[in-house]
């Protein structure tokens, strides 16, 4: 466990007007920063990025991970790049989806068509899920979940779409992987099913490890946090180490801080405001905040169907923190927002 944490801060529009060594590039992407917030327990201080070496070998190692480029992933014939933020389209095939009420269940043709449409609208990948993870959702038998997911994955792969499968069950992973190369997106960070890590390692496919307080009991447990930002970071760091020990290539690991999973509104806001800390893990970051309850809590209890504005605001916040993958329901609108954000950023680079 780290004795302290470093969060990139004081972002700048362009490195051109700053002396050499006074700013650093974040994760090989589009952002530059001039300082670190140093977090040691409840103590926080700020140092210029050029002084990070004075903190010793641990800080130098974190700095190297923060600034290292995230290599692209090749999945089948598709490539997923991390040098700018991209959208992952959410495709639920459950009867109790909180976002669409289950309208795509039992219709793999329509579900796959919806996924292809999201890809055409600019989604870099389509995240297919066959089990709801909303609070109170019933556990789905792995056979039923596989039957929901596999026909949709098969059609999407046939259409040439990059696919991730949102599941915590080994049998569902195997059913999807039997159809072709996919990314495994596990809300339990490979802890729910004891077979999951070996399945991912054997298939040599990318995996997304998401934080939840006690994933063996379900995604919405937990007793609260003393410091949610550093505790989630440390937990994800341990899960990365466990995945690597299980034979999974570190270069194929992504992390997700698990917004809304066993966390209070204050916890979620602290994580979103501190997102740049997670670059210290040295892997790409996925952020899933689309249509989530925190948006309603901040906007007069707006219902799920009326949370587009909040979803876009949080997506742009993620982009501004260097998040590489934004998991969203509203692909076209999010992609448009990211293109405008990038246009503004590109213009700022040239003055």
The catalytic residue among 155, 239, 292, 307 is 292
Supply the pLDDT for residue 223: 66
175 Cβ contact list (under 8 Å, min separation 6): 146, 149, 150
Whether 192 and 318 map to the same domain: the answer is yes
Residue whose entry in the numeric block shows the structure tokens 């960070």: 189
Whether 88 and 52 map to the same domain: the answer is no
What tokens were used for 91?
């495709």
327 belongs to the catalytic site: yes
73 Cβ contact list (under 8 Å, min separation 6): 79, 80, 82, 183, 206, 252
Mean pLDDT of 181-194: 96
Whether 97 and 122 map to the same domain: the answer is yes
Rounded distance between C-alpha atoms, residue 124 and residue 215, angstroms: 27
Whether 104 and 170 map to the same domain: the answer is yes
Whether 153 and 185 map to the same domain: the answer is yes
Whether 43 and 160 map to the same domain: the answer is no
Whether 27 and 148 map to the same domain: the answer is no
Cα 326 to its chain centre, rounded Å, is 6
| Domain's final residue, options 50, 67, 84 | 67
Kindly report the CATH number assigned to the domain that includes residue 315: 3.20.20.20
Structural domain harbouring 293: 73-349
Rounded distance between C-alpha atoms, residue 341 and residue 318, angstroms: 11
What tokens were used for 38?
């140093």
Residue 102 pLDDT more than 90? no
Between 214 and 268, the more confident residue is 268
Whether 54 and 99 map to the same domain: the answer is no
Q: How many domains does the chain have?
A: 2
Whether 253 and 313 map to the same domain: the answer is yes
The catalytic residue among 70, 148, 291, 327 is 327
Portion of the chain with pLDDT greater than 90, in percent: 83
Rounded distance between C-alpha atoms, residue 318 and residue 201, angstroms: 29
Per-chain mean pLDDT for the chain: 93
What tokens were used for 57?
């070998």
Whether 85 and 141 map to the same domain: the answer is yes
Q: What is the pLDDT of residues 115-128, one digit of tens each?
A: 999 999 999 999 99
| Domain's final residue, options 67, 100, 115 | 67
Whether 159 and 243 map to the same domain: the answer is yes
| Domain's final residue, options 45, 67, 89 | 67
Range of weakest confidence among 72-86, 92-106, 160-174, 238-252: 92-106
Whether 110 and 219 map to the same domain: the answer is yes
Mean pLDDT of 272-286: 98
- Tell me the pLDDT band of 222, cut-offs 50, 70 and 90: low
Cα 108 to its chain centre, rounded Å, is 26
- Tell me the pLDDT band of 351, cut-offs 50, 70 and 90: low
Strands 86-92 and 325-328 come out as parallel
44 belongs to the catalytic site: no
Angle, helices 108-120 vs 142-158, to 10°: value is 50
Count of alpha carbons within 13 Å of 112, Cβ hemisphere only? 17
Range of weakest confidence among 212-221, 245-254, 287-296, 326-335: 212-221
Rounded distance between C-alpha atoms, residue 23 and residue 15, angstroms: 6
């Amino acid at each position: 466990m780290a004795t302290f944490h470093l969060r990139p801060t004081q972002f700048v529009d362009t490195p051109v007007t700053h002396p050499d060594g006074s700013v650093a590039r974040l994760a090989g992407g589009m952002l530059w920063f001039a300082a670190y917030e140093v977090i040691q327990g409840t103590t926080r201080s700020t140092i210029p990025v050029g002084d990070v070496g004075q903190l010793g070998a641990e800080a130098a190692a974190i700095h190297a991970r923060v600034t290292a480029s995230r290599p692209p992933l090749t999945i089948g014939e598709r490539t997923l790049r991390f040098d700018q933020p991209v959208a992952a389209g959410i495709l639920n095939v459950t009867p109790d989806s909180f976002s669409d009420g289950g309208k795509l269940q039992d219709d793999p043709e329509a579900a796959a068509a919806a996924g292809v449409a999201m890809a055409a609208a600019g989604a870099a990948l389509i995240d297919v899920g066959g089990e709801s993870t909303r609070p109170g959702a019933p556990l789905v038998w792995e056979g039923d979940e596989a039957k929901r997911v596999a026909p949709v994955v098969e059609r999407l792969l046939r259409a040439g779409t990059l696919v991730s499968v949102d599941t915590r069950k080994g049998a569902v992973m195997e059913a999807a992987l039997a159809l072709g190369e996919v990314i495994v997106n596990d809300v339990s960070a490979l802890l729910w099913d004891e077979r999951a890590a070996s399945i991912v390692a054997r298939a040599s496919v990318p995996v997304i490890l998401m934080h939840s307080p006690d994933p063996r009991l379900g995604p919405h447990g937990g007793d609260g946090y003393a410091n949610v930002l550093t505790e989630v970071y440390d937990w994800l760091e341990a899960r990365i180490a466990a995945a690597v020990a299980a034979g999974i290539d570190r270069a194929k690991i992504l992390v997700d801080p698990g917004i809304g999973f066993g966390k209070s509104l204050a916890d979620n806001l602290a994580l979103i405001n501190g997102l740049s800390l997670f670059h210290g893990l040295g892997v790409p970051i996925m952020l899933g905040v689309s249509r989530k309850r925190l948006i309603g809590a901040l906007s007069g209890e707006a219902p799920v169907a009326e949370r587009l504005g909040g979803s876009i605001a949080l997506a742009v916040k993620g982009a501004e923190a260097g998040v590489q993958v934004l998991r969203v329901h509203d692909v076209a609108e999010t992609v448009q927002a990211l293109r405008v954000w990038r246009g503004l950023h590109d213009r700022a680079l040239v003055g």
